[in-house]
Homo-oligomer: A and B are copies of this chain.
Amino acid sequence: TLQHIFKQILKASLELQEDDNRKALLVSRKKKPENTVVQINETKIGNGNQHFIMGPCAVESYDQVKLVAQAMKKQGLSLMRGGAYKPRTSPYDFQGLGLEGLQILRRVADEEGMSIISEILDTRDVESALDYVDVIQIGARNMQNFELLKLVGSVQKPVLLKRGLSATIEEFMYAAEYIISQGNNQIILCERGIRTYEKATRNTLDISAVPILKKETHLPVLVDVTHSTGRKDLLLPAAKAALAIGADGVMAEVHPDPAVALSDSAQQMDIDEFNQFMAEVKGFAEVIQKAPAL
């Protein structure tokens, strides 16, 4: 019973400490009021400018990536996403080119002067990826892969952290805290839709998460309009809503020939659609920058 009392004191102390930590999460704006600016080569995310991060769902070949990169460059974009390790529901679906995919991304990025964002699925692949990517993406399915979070928190690369399929905003912030607690504060959050009963869209874009995350944390926040809606006809309106509500950027998927894409073929834009999309969202982004803020 003395032991019991001792344990109770220990547990109470632990809880107190946890409580203090919670109040003062390192990702919290209470802890750090000014915005964190994430630096990706020459590009700064989180300083008020709004960015467009585009690219194919999966890397399939040098030619495919090259075509997308050239189209992006014409639009003045430099942040390219592309999947080398693909988390697929079925083991029999295309699993990505792996390291070869990262090499293709790097080669094209170097040729075109772009930066690369690519998802890493496994702690064992982090180190080798550091040679190829400019930003490590942690995907929705790994938002609570805590060992992976700790590991990318200990490296010197920006991390793009996607919200889990059914993660609460609070859990999302704690996932970011796993990274920042290891020393890496170069974190970009990304809302990508949550799982609900509604089936008209692939997921339900939780647009309110953007202002909540901007208020509660000092980190930049993106919206992935491709995975949240899963519908090409909603990319443009969803992007406008994301820009209007204050997101630091918009992510979407582009493929030179979506009909033959090895994944997500129905929801990727082709180059023409991408050009139309960019024309309209860039005009929109410029216009709302001029809206009078009070």
Could you list which residues of chain A lie within 8 angstroms of chain B, going by C-beta atoms?
Answer: 4, 7-8, 10-11, 14, 17-18, 21-22, 87-95, 121-125, 141-142, 144-148, 150, 165-166, 168-171, 174, 177-178, 181, 194-201, 204-212, 215, 228-229, 233-234, 237-238, 240-246, 257, 259-262, 265, 276, 279-280, 283-284, 287-288, 290-294
Contacts and interface: CB of A to CB of B under 8 A. Distances in A.
17 contacts: A7-B257, A8-B259, A8-B260, A17-B92, A18-B93, A22-B90, A91-B150, A166-B195, A166-B197, A200-B209, A201-B208, A205-B207, A207-B207, A240-B245, A241-B241, A280-B292, A280-B294
B233 A208 contact: no
Contact of A90 (B123, B177, B208, B234): B177
Report the copy number of this chain in the oligomer: 4
Given A21-B90, A198-B206, 13 more contacts: A122-B148, A123-B123, A165-B166, A196-B196, A205-B207, A205-B208, A208-B234, A211-B233, A211-B237, A237-B246, A238-B245, A279-B294, A284-B291
A123 B145 CA distance: 11
A171 B229 CA distance: 19
A145 B148 CA distance: 11
Contact residues of A: prevailing secondary structure: helix
A279 to B, nearest CB: 6
Contacts of A280: 292-294
